[in-house]
Amino acid sequence: GAGVSQTPSNKVTEKGKYVELRCDPISGHTALYWYRQSLGQGPEFLIYFQGTGAADDSGLPNDRFFAVRPEGSVSTLKIQRTERGDSAVYLCASSLQGGNPNEQFFGPGTRLTVL
């Protein structure tokens, strides 16, 4: 079956621009997570959705970052007024439910470069 997909695979933008990153989770997975992976680091949690609602957005670094999941499936991570420090690989993961011991399945990531 299809895994988690993310588009685009690469995004280059200029400082100050707005970007949207899309995640298509595994069909039937109610839990969805966004992570950010900076160069040489492990993934860092950004936000968790259970269904349509953001159950935990404590990892979003500031109010330039926002994510939605309006129909409980596809999610979009939105970054306003991008800065060079936002350059990273943005990973999406999904799981059957949020609770233990559900494994998180990761997408290939979107590499964002802010010039």
Q: Which residues bind other proteins (CB under 8 A)?
A: 3-4, 31, 33, 40-45, 48, 50, 55-56, 91, 93, 95, 98-104, 106-109
Residue 102 CB: number of other CB atoms within 10 A? 14
- Minimum CB separation of residue 22 from other proteins in Å reads 15
Which residue in 3, 9, 7 sits closest to 105, CA to CA?
A: 3
Q: Are 106 and 94 in contact (CB under 8 A)?
A: no
- Choice between 66 and 106, CB closer to other proteins: 106
Q: Which is nearer to other proteins, 41 or 80 (CB)?
A: 41
Q: How far is the CB of 41 from other proteins (least distance, A)?
A: 5
Whole-number minimum distance, CB 39 to other proteins, in Å?
A: 11
CB under 8 Å to 4, separation ≥6 — which residues? 23, 24, 25, 26, 92, 93, 94, 105, 106, 107
Nearer to other proteins, 65 or 107 (CB): 107
